Structure 1
Amino acid sequence: MERRIGTVSRGVRCPIIREGDNLVDIVVNSVIEAADSEGFELRNRDVVGITESIVARAQGNYVSVEDIAADVKAKTGGETVGIIFPILSRNRFAINLKGIAMGCKKVVLMLSYPSDEVGNALLTYDQLDEAGINPYSDVLSLEKYRELFGENKHEFTGVDYVDYYAGLIREAGAEVEIVFANQAKTILNYTDCVINCDIHTRVRTKRILKAAGAKVVCGLDDIMTAPVNGSGYNAQYGLLGSNKSTEDTIKLFPHECKAMVEAIQASFLEKTGKHIEVMVYGDGAFKDPQGKIWELADPVVSPAFTDGLIGTPNELKLKYLADNDFAELSGAELKDAISNSIKEKESNLVGNMASQGTTPRQLTDLIGSLCDLTSGSGDKGTPIILIQGYFDNFATD
Structure 2
Amino acid sequence: MPKLPDYIGPLAFGVKMGVVVPGTDLTGMVTSALKQVNDDELLDDRDVICVTESVVARAQNNFVSVDYVAEEIRAKLGLKKDSMVGVVFPITSRNRFSLIMEGIARAVPEGEVIVQLPFPCDEVGNQIISEELAETFDYVAGLVRYDELDAADCRHPITKVNYLQMYQEVIEGQGAKATIFLSNDPKRILEFSPDGVIAADIHTREKTRRKIKEDLDNCITLQDLCSEGENWCEWGLLGSNMSANKRLKLAPREASAFAREVQQSVLEATGRKVEVLVYGDGAYKDPSSGIYELADPMPVFGATDGFSGRYREGIKYKYVADVCHEEGKSVEEIEAHLAEQCRVAYEHNHIMTEGTTPRRVEDVIASLADLVSGSADAGTPVIVVKGILK
Read off the aligned partner of 1:207 and give its amino acid letter.
Answer: R
The counterpart of 1:16, out of the listed 14, 19, 23, is: 19
Read off the aligned partner of 2:91 and give its amino acid letter.
Answer: I
1:247, distance to aligned residue in structure 2 (A): 5.0
Partner of 2:340: 340
Partner of 1:318: 317
Q: Once superposed, what is the RMSD of the aligned Cα atoms?
A: 1.7
Alignment of 1:18-33 (within 5 A): 18-33=21-36
Distance (whole Å) between structure 2 residues aligned to residue 100 and residue 12 of structure 1: 39
TM-score (norm 1): 0.92
Read off the aligned partner of 2:224 and give its amino acid letter.
Answer: D
Matched, 1:128 2:134: yes
Deviations 1:43-90 (A, max 9, x none): 111000000000000111100000000011112214100011000000
Partner of 1:96: 100
1:326, distance to aligned residue in structure 2 (A): 5.5
Distance (whole Å) between structure 2 residues aligned to residue 379 and residue 187 of structure 1: 38
Partner of 2:246: 248
Deviations 1:181-220 (A, max 9, x none): 1101000000242111000001111110111x11310111
The question of whether the paired residues in 2 share the 8 Å contact of 1:95 and 1:247 is answered with: no
Deviations 1:153-180 (A, max 9, x none): 2122221101101000011221111111
Matched, 1:189 2:187: no
Read off the aligned partner of 1:184 and give its amino acid letter.
Answer: P
1:145, distance to aligned residue in structure 2 (A): 2.2
SS across alignment from 1:91: helix
Partner of 1:218: 220
The question of whether the paired residues in 2 share the 8 Å contact of 1:223 and 1:239 is answered with: yes
The question of whether the paired residues in 1 share the 8 Å contact of 2:90 and 2:117 is answered with: yes
Partner of 2:181: 179
1:266, distance to aligned residue in structure 2 (A): 1.2
Q: Does 80-89 or 136-145 show the bigger shift? A: 136-145
Alignment of 1:237-386 (within 5 A): 237-246=235-244, 248-310=246-308, 311-325=310-324, 327=326, 328-343=328-343, 345-346=344-345, 348-386=346-384
Partner of 1:53: 54
Read off the aligned partner of 2:283 and give its amino acid letter.
Answer: A
- Determine what percentage of the aligned residue pairs are the same residue: 36
Matched, 1:201 2:204: yes
Gaps of 5+ in 1: 393-397
Gaps of 5+ in 2: none
1:358, distance to aligned residue in structure 2 (A): 1.1
The question of whether the paired residues in 2 share the 8 Å contact of 1:63 and 1:249 is answered with: yes
1:128, distance to aligned residue in structure 2 (A): 2.4
Partner of 2:165: 163
Partner of 2:64: 63
The question of whether the paired residues in 1 share the 8 Å contact of 2:37 and 2:43 is answered with: no
SS across alignment from 2:90: coil
Residues paired across the two proteins, number: 379
SS across alignment from 1:250: strand
Distance (whole Å) between structure 1 residues aligned to residue 171 and residue 17 of structure 2: 38
The question of whether the paired residues in 2 share the 8 Å contact of 1:326 and 1:337 is answered with: no
CA shift in 2, pair 1:316/1:358, >3 Å: same
Partner of 1:395: none
Distance (whole Å) between structure 2 residues aligned to residue 246 and residue 378 of structure 1: 17
Distance (whole Å) between structure 2 residues aligned to residue 138 and residue 260 of structure 1: 46
Partner of 2:119: 113
